[in-house]
Amino acid sequence: MRYASGIHLLANGLLVTMSMILLTGIGNAQELNSQVSEATLFFNQLAKTSSNPVISNMARDTLNRLEHQDGPPRTQVVVPLLEQSDASLVVPTLVNDKIMGTFIVDTGASYTVITPAMAERLEVRITPETPRVSMITANGHIRAPLVTLRNITIGELRVPSVQAVVQPIGNGDDVLLSGLLGMNFFSGMELTVKQDRLIIGVQRVSKAAAEY
């Protein structure tokens, strides 16, 4: 009886520990994928082989929660913030795997923006056929070109196929800024600022995490 109780407690501890790891999304994407695979294998085997109905039921319940949990586990990406004289958040950015720039993080903007100078460095061609989007700027209502960048990378986070508006940032005098990262880049992510770091919670199965 004491032996069975010990097995029960051990299995319960394993179930709780593995569930907490998977639900909180600790570690990077590769580690999370490995944890999911190992946990699924472990709980499947436990559910099929255990003669203790309490343990087998717990294993099946955990498998069910892993399959139907509210949102996939998240992994964290930490990006250094560049020091600014104002309160703006600026991050070093790599565009199309070849051109470095500095981008403002602006979760209030719907679209990502690149400056005309950045577009030229990227050899982005804007023609009469290039689609336009309506924008309200300090100079009034405009129709700005909308292009698709192959990818944008900040830290270890690489997001493919990012639509970006070609438009000067602010008054256009700040040549150090290459663009602005809007919500179409941060879609499905959670942002937290801690001192000189931007911490991004990324869904493990999201488009952004797929190339992470």
Kindly give the interhelix angle for 29-49 and 2-24, rounded to the nearest 10 degrees. 150
pLDDT reported for residue 45: 77
pLDDT by position in tens, the chain (length 212): 444 444 544 444 454 444 444 444 444 444 555 566 666 777 777 778 877 777 777 777 777 766 655 555 558 899 999 988 888 899 999 999 999 999 999 988 999 999 999 999 999 999 989 999 888 766 678 789 999 999 999 998 999 999 999 999 876 555 689 999 999 999 989 999 998 999 998 865 444 444 44
pLDDT reported for residue 145: 94
pLDDT reported for residue 36: 60
pLDDT reported for residue 106: 93
Strand partners of residue 101:
93
Rounded-to-integer distance, Cα 87 and Cα 181, Å: 16
DSSP structure string for 17-39: HHHHHHHHT-S-HHHHHHHHHHH
> 3-class DSSP state for residue 118?
helix
- Domains of the chain with bracketed CATH: 2-70 (no CATH), 75-210 (2.40.70.10)
pLDDT reported for residue 1: 46
DSSP 90: E
Looking only at the bridges linking them, the beta strands covering 90-95 and 140-154 are antiparallel
pLDDT reported for residue 61: 75
C-beta separation of 146 from 198 below 8 A:
no
pLDDT reported for residue 80: 93
- Joined together, the tokens standing for residue 39 give 């946990």
